[in-house]
Amino acid sequence: MDNPETFTRAFSLNSLLQAREKRAARQDKWLTRYHQPVISLTLVTPGPVKTSARYENIMGVALRVCDQWISQNHWPLTARQVNWLATGPEALWCVDHPAAELKKQLAEIEQTHPLGRLWDFDVICPLSGVTDRKSLNHPARRCLVCDLPAIRCARSRRHPPQVVLDCVERIINDWFTRG
């Protein structure tokens, strides 16, 4: 879909879990069809609202960054798909390049781009499954609020939701007001 619609309503946990299952099914279908690594992009959108005009804009930046990165490295792109869903935008790329190298560089982009903390790039290898930071001896993603491992804070609900959302909004505001 080329023209994203703007959705600002909240979704139930069940709806979000169903969206995750559908995304996993799309990933599996691509792995079976193309037999090459798949890059899957979602946004870090804490809270029940998963898309808005602001989230669509930061997804657009992520799409441009990833497309340019693939092109600049001259890696063969087998397929690309963007889904502007009410439960949040998602994108898939199938790239003919080793999964570990893709993940290594994408983790670097997540850490260094001003919006990178809000992007979640997963890389799935058709032979070995998800290539994660741990398998590359990279540190875990850090919490947006306190710099502890993000998974630890998320699971324990260490920070009030509004504090986390305020951090997300600050990152977005800093990007859009940069000089």
Q: Tell me the one-letter amino acid at 8.
A: T
Is the pTM for the entire model greater than 0.85?
Answer: yes
Dihedral sign, Cα of residue 40, residue 45, residue 50, residue 55: negative
The pLDDT, as a whole number, for residue 29 is 97
- What is the pLDDT tens value at each position of the chain, 179 positions in all? 333 344 445 566 787 788 899 999 999 999 999 999 999 999 998 888 888 999 999 999 999 999 999 999 999 999 999 999 988 999 999 999 999 999 999 999 999 999 999 999 999 999 989 998 887 777 788 899 998 988 899 889 899 989 999 999 999 999 999 86
The pLDDT, as a whole number, for residue 125 is 96
